[in-house]
Chain A
């Protein structure tokens, strides 16, 4: 049975009213801020935020004490300081957060191997096979919360439902309510059983549905849609017209409570990438492009080692204020060389406003297929205009691939520093 069949089956199973509530969603409370408080106990109980402390910084994470003042993540730092004069803002330490996250995921995997991390502080678990050892889903959820608190001294919320959607909405509902009126203790664990699902879902604000961002929510509000119940009035065709076919259909399903997504523990490698955090912010396009090209070479070498090629090149930019954006371009042909990946990354950077200063830069290749299977559609004649997407014509690519593969061999033998792009190859000094 292929992966596709299993997906289809699980959709059918989930749709059956009797399906058990076996999916857990665990979400850490104010993760970055809590880790800061953990590492510096003098901050306990104080309004702490993690985020860019400069003039245009934004809040990445806010402690519950800060939330009592109406400070929330994604809020401009200046606004946060206005609302909370005693605010303690600390710059983020992502290395440390990753460390704590790894410990957290380790704890979760003791319960079941079916753990799908979503981000540093969030994961889905499928506990259908864990009942014998750990009890009911509800018992597992409660136990997990206790174990996380005991081992990491951090708190979290756990939602339980038949689908990822319900589990995620449930964990959100189990969180300490943090509106401007004050913070109350949250339930910590919420289980939504099959019979309660419909009522639970209908009462959700539309904004809570994954994939509905502020812009989508605003668009729906124009049609008088504020809750899932409102959205049920809109026909599928309406969603498709508003959001396009793929997003519209997916949204319509979620609103109907249809979510066939499985917990996918070992997601096949979906992208190969390289990221670097700079010692000082870099706002210079040429310098960033040079760095991107260098990273692209490293990414291409890793792709070749894994014998994969990918069609989508993404650059990730985190600015000095912690806001992070990704920009992607999908090529007509899979990119296999550093030259191609680097050219696309450089073009993507060119289209960005980098004046705020870049703290972290990443270059990723996704849409990976194995090189043996990854096929290339040949062309009748050289594409009439091959420049816009940065892909090379077949002959040039072939030669470039040979060249870079030879460089791989040299580096394997003599070390990473044995070779680097010649001066002028990318219009600047070769080494950073």
Chain B
């Protein structure tokens, strides 16, 4: 294999594909990336058993071929090269990377392998990338990040609705739900459970793209494929059962706090400073609702306390409900409207965050019980 290309394009491809060649790879040796050249088209593939990312990039090809390279090392090398032309020549044993006066000869990793998920053909659907990514931004945050407890909760459920599609994620403490009207990526009645990790990559790939950027989606029973621009991401689907989330949505709420999103988020960020460990679920923020708004209090035995008042309207009697401050902030930050509604029942039933006039999104959150 032999080709020349610009450093920046090659680097971008290596970095993007490298995200799938993480430490999760169960294979031998250090994570590897595959380079495959045909004509002037270079395909860079990173993979682990659950996720494959392929990036195509144009190069000046001189001899077709395929090789594996150690992911991190080659990424570091290309990043460190001066901008300009990079030459790559590979044989069965080594890969020669040269640019200017620098030359690296990297041994081809032995025993490494690139896992391949199924090559999905068949019907594909084109989604508006920016809108889909915005939905992901609102929902992925509620998924479980640690898969030892309940693997099915590390996914986002994509389910076809009558008028579009719904995204749902929950880690059992909170649940985020977003309806995407008129967006039909699935056959009626179908649902797939996509790992949040893959969807985080999709969000990154869409970046600041617009809805004009097409995002092509296909799935089978086992895998799903997303294609955006020159990047194809294939992920293994998770197996359910996903919790029966519809049962969890309270039919009605007696009370609601209406307040400014940024003011509320800012106050939460400030009082949360008293919680040392963001994952510490045992130091709650107590939200005391009163007709003029709410008071946020964090009390810790070790560090002290923080109190802040937030103006707003509350449609009920005085009431205190405690929450994990990070979970509450996650929900507030997910909302797009400038005005948020925090709906509560009592100190031990789920609360819901919504945006004013933003009915397509709900963020359910269980309180923290303080005895």
Contact = CB atoms under 8 A, between A and B. Distances in A.
B346 to A, nearest CB: 11
B173 A380 contact: yes
A384 B370 contact: no
Interface in B91-128: none
A311 B369 CA distance: 15
A380 B366 contact: yes
B364 A388 contact: no
Interface in A164-197: none
A380 B175 contact: yes
Interface in B234-257: 243-244, 248
Interface string A202-236: 00000000000000000000000000000000000
B163 interface: no
A378 B149 contact: no
Contacts of A311: 282
Interface in A398-425: none
B193 to A, nearest CB: 12
Interface string B282-314: 111000000000000001111110000000000
Interface string B43-76: 0000000000000000000000000000000000
A251 B224 CA distance: 43
B259 interface: no
Contact of B304 (A2, A372, A374, A380): A2
A379 B148 contact: no
B249 to A, nearest CB: 10
Contact of A384 (B152, B283, B284, B367): B152
Given A3-B302, A380-B173, A375 B150 contact: no
Contacts of A375: 281-284, 322, 368-371
Contacts of B304: 2, 4
A311 B277 CA distance: 14
Interface residues on A, range: 20 to 34
Contacts of B283: 373, 375
Given A311-B282, A380-B170, A380-B175, A388 B369 contact: no
A385 B150 contact: yes
B174 interface: yes
B150 A373 contact: no
A371 interface: yes
A404 to B, nearest CB: 16
Contact of A369 (B175, B301, B350, B369): B301
B368 A378 contact: yes
A377 B350 contact: no
**Main secondary structure on A side of the interface with B:** loop
Contact of A376 (B175, B276, B368): B368
A383 B282 contact: no
B370 A380 contact: no
A334 B172 contact: no
B368 A383 contact: no
B173 A379 contact: yes
A266 to B, nearest CB: 14
A375 B366 CA distance: 12
Nearest to B175: A380
A381 B170 CA distance: 10
B161 interface: no
Interface string A75-117: 0000000000000000000000000000000000000000000
Nearest to A374: B282
A373 B370 contact: yes
B348 interface: yes
B364 A378 contact: no
Contact of A381 (B243, B282, B303, B369): B243
Nearest to A385: B150
B30 interface: no
Contacts of B152: 384
Contacts of B244: 381
Given A4-B303, A369-B282, A384-B172, A378 B248 contact: no
Contacts of B284: 375
Contact of A380 (B148, B248, B322): B248
Interface string B152-163: 110000000000
B350 A372 contact: no
Contacts of B149: 332, 383-385, 388-389
Nearest to A382: B172
24 contacts: A3-B302, A311-B282, A332-B149, A372-B370, A373-B282, A374-B282, A375-B283, A375-B368, A375-B369, A376-B369, A376-B371, A377-B173, A377-B324, A378-B173, A379-B366, A380-B172, A380-B173, A380-B174, A380-B248, A381-B243, A383-B149, A383-B150, A384-B153, A384-B243
Given A375-B370, A375-B371, A377-B366, 12 more contacts: A2-B304, A4-B276, A332-B281, A373-B300, A374-B371, A375-B281, A377-B173, A378-B369, A380-B248, A383-B172, A384-B149, A389-B149
Instruction: Give me the 4 closest cross-chain CB pairs, A-B, nearest first.
Output: A384-B150, A378-B366, A2-B304, A375-B368
Interface of B: 148-150, 152-153, 170, 172-175, 243-244, 248, 276, 281-284, 299-304, 322, 324, 348, 350, 364, 366-371
Interface of A: 2-4, 311, 332, 334, 369-381, 383-385, 388-389
